[in-house]
Amino acid sequence: MKVYNSLSRKIENFKALEREKVTMYTCGPTVYNYVHIGNLRTFIFYDTVKRAFKLNNYKVKHVMNITDVDDKTIKGAIESKVSLKEYTEMYTKYFIEDLNKLNMDMDTRITKATDNIDEMQKIIVKLVKEGYAYEAQDGIYFNISKFKNYGKLSGMKVDGIYSRIKNDQYDKENASDFALWKYWDANDGEAYWKGELKKGRPGWHIECSAMSMKYLGKTIDIHCGAVDLIFPHHENEIAQSESYSKQKFVNYWLHAEHLLVNNQKMSKSLNNFYTLRDLESQGFNPLSFRLMVIDSHYRNKLDFNFENLRKYEKLLAKIDLSIKALIKVEKYEEKEDNYSRIQTKQKIDKEIELFKEAVNNDLNTHESLQHFLSLLDLADEKTKKAKVDNKEFLMLSAAIGKMNDFLGVYLAYEIPQEIIALAEEREQKRKQKQFVEADLLREKISENGYFIADLPNTFVITKKYLD
């Protein structure tokens, strides 16, 4: 597998620390509000990284943090007059719902910053003891001049004059000493911890170092985020972790580009954002957004607009229909290998090979999607003939399933019994040439959110997608 490593600024051959195992840490959301679809683009990227390793038969150990204490969460909780815990748990719940709607592989250890305060304190105490960190009047800070490799990830230089920053909203232009531990002040309300350090709370960066080292080890294979995290967040994570452990923190740093709106980064502060709920309330299926993200390369910026999303909604409908039709169509068994069977096998083998090549070439999801779609075209050709050789069906469905294990764009769902009954009734009416009644039934099915497509000898029911 080849991946682009932000640390070397090169595409590199991936080599795991331990054979066939991958340790992967991804920076999760700050749960002070709903996440927006820009954040979700990054989370879909994490998901494809994980699935790519699984496709290559690695066992992946994946940890993602939830930032449930910082300036914004504390402010939000106080303004809403609820406890920090109650406030952040509500948005964490919505976040997990979004992940499920986007068909993420949930084989992830999701861990909250506030459950790991002791580990953070332990690191900070050692950093102070060894002279990497110092106490100021309002907290404990990391002294960036003490870490000689400061800037190795981002290229940021530390030359002489630099300042000290307490906020979680960090200065992106200048290197500064950053807060590891912030002493309590009245703005923090009930959000404070004691333990080995004076009453206060952690800075933002220290949580990821603590959780990554605690759950995955002092050196890990992969750490992901979006490009805005390279500096200062990831640079600071490296500084504090490597000063603490005297070991390399991460072998491969993978960063995704931003989702844009009218050529500007989608963000809360610019108020140009949409949530997944906004898309759903306009009738879109969440997976059409997943499809949109996967169709572009993670290292390219992606401009979001609704016309484009409509295109993916249509593609999603086609994928759903092609797969359901292949499953539904009548099967028969050829006695021996014939020309069609051999040809189908050759075509599938070729597509699978090209598919894997694309995935392993720094996650070329766009290309891999094309190979998936060409197998669906082949499936359409077969189903049009009303009968499919069972061997060909098994080969095709296995290959489509394998590709979907990576892409995650097809998600099986139940069709309610009432809808199936209505569809069968409609089929009867059609056979009896009672077309008016049949159309009324189709309408009724549609009003209930489902769609019927007629195949040569049968029919398929899918969810209704936007036209």
Tokens coding 358: 């694309």
Contact between 27 and Zn ion by CB under 5 A: the answer reads yes
Nearer to ligand AMP, 258 or 324 (CB): 258
Give the one residue of 97, 105, 228, 295 binding ligand AMP; rule: CB under 6 A: 228
| Rounded-to-integer distance, Cα 411 and Cα 320, Å | 8
Tokens coding 296: 């572009």
Nearer to Zn ion, 91 or 284 (CB): 91
Contact between 27 and ligand AMP by CB under 6 A: the answer reads yes
Give the one residue of 238, 266, 293, 375 binding ligand AMP; rule: CB under 6 A: 266
Contact between 29 and ligand AMP by CB under 6 A: the answer reads yes
Q: Give the single-character DSSP code of 271.
A: T
Residue 340 amino acid letter:
S
Peptide bond preceding 232 in cis form (omega within 30 of 0): yes
Q: Give the single-character DSSP code of 444.
A: H
Contact between 222 and Zn ion by CB under 5 A: the answer reads no
Binding mask 111-130 for ligand AMP (x = CB under 6 A): --------------------
Binding mask 240-259 for ligand AMP (x = CB under 6 A): ------------------xx
Contact window for ligand AMP (CB under 6 A) among 16-24, 35-43, 342-350, 450-458: 35-43
**Residue 341: its H or E element:** helix 339-360
SS3 425: helix
Residue 173 amino acid letter:
E
Contact between 216 and Zn ion by CB under 5 A: the answer reads no
Residue 377 CB partners (closer than 8 Å, separation 6+): none
Q: Give the single-character DSSP code of 255.
A: E
Tokens coding 164: 């000290």
Give the one residue of 1, 14, 41, 376 binding ligand AMP; rule: CB under 6 A: 41
Contact window for ligand AMP (CB under 6 A) among 2-10, 52-60, 81-89, 262-270: 262-270
Contact between 296 and ligand AMP by CB under 6 A: the answer reads no
Contact between 229 and ligand AMP by CB under 6 A: the answer reads yes
**DSSP codes of every residue in 102-149:** TT-----EEEEGGGGHHHHHHHHHHHHHTTSEEEETTEEEE-GGGSTT
Give the one residue of 208, 224, 291, 369 binding Zn ion; rule: CB under 5 A: 208
Nearer to ligand AMP, 136 or 270 (CB): 270
Give the one residue of 6, 30, 288, 360 binding ligand AMP; rule: CB under 6 A: 30
Q: Give the single-character DSSP code of 188.
A: G
Closest CA to 114 of 70, 72, 75, 71: 70
Q: Which residues bind Zn ion (CB under 5 A)?
A: 27, 208
Q: Which residues bind ligand AMP (CB under 6 A)?
A: 27, 29-30, 38-39, 41-42, 225-226, 228-229, 258-259, 265-267
